[in-house]
Amino acid sequence: MKALLFPGQGSQSVGMGSDLFKNFDLIKKIFKDADQKLNYSISKIILEGPESELKLTENTQPAILLVSYSIFRLMKEEFNININESFKYFAGHSLGEYSALVASGSLRFEDALTLLHARGKSMQEAVPQGKGSMLAVMGVKIDELNKLIDEADRESGICEIANDNSYSQIILSGDKKAVNNVNEILKQNKKKTIFLPVSAPFHCSLMKPAADKMENKINQTEFKESKYELISNVTAKPTKDPLIIKKLLIDQISSKVRWRESIEFMIKNDVNQLIEIGPGKVLSGLVKRISGKVLTKSINTIEDIKSLND
């Protein structure tokens, strides 16, 4: 049994998907359609940069969707990869959940583009620049980390777990001072930490204003019943129900991404191969840290797609 995975923010790079764009008219058309839908050239930002433009959250989110969706369409229409027969679950990391929904037939690509552009802008505007922070913590179990957060100075603000990525990587998010305080405790305990170069503290309660802004937009968008089981970031459980999916997408903006639990759920339910579609290899790396029992493949070049038939 196989599952498809779709990456989130941090996987982007200038020039991603360029070999696909140069070689296939289908991809040129998808990129052109995206430009028209967004009323600006997201394709130029993806293919030429500058990196500073691509890193803007309101651009990053639709850009990663565009590249992931392009690869998915190419697999099906140019390389005749049969998705129906062997794939049971679809899952995406944060914004990757939108890519998974588009690929599973639940959400129109054009609607996902506009939702992600608005989502990125709302998340960016939810917290003033420089007020928030995100910190990657390595080699600390989640229960131990929760205990350290509880012991830290509560008056310095919010510090919450944003991403439970794997047994060896957890991401914290919140007010800069509060995250700094927890980082100091971790350093005293000789734990490895890295501050992330992000523009806002994603997936914590500080993102509630962004969730409130997106609620109407998501609820007013048409979602269909998914053809595949979608593993939600919020619950780490599957659903096909469009009403449940809408609620979970709203909650997801300010909630923890339960990625480790999502992967473990799929493995427990007979998935033995996980295929990452989109730029980079971040999710494949995380899967390897979660379990050595499953095969992983990252698909983002023509050669990668050809290897699926091997």
pLDDT digits (tens, 9 = 90+) for 92-101: 999 999 999 9
pLDDT digits (tens, 9 = 90+) for 144-180: 999 999 888 777 899 999 999 999 999 999 999 999 9
* pLDDT at residue 208 in the model: 97
Give the CB-side neighbour count of residue 1, counting CA atoms within 13 A.
12
Q: What is the mean pLDDT of residues 45-54?
A: 96
* pLDDT at residue 156 in the model: 84
Choose, from 106, 166, 173, 203, the residue flagged as catalytic.
Answer: 203
Q: Is the pLDDT of residue 246 over 80?
A: yes
How confident is residue 308, by pLDDT bands cut at 50, 70 and 90?
Answer: confident
Mean per-residue pLDDT of the chain? 95
Asked if 94 is an active-site residue, the reply is: yes
pTM for the predicted model, two decimal places: 0.96
pLDDT digits (tens, 9 = 90+) for 193-208: 999 988 899 999 999 9
Give dist(CA 157, CA 163) in Å, integer. Answer: 19
Q: Is the pLDDT of residue 234 over 80?
A: yes
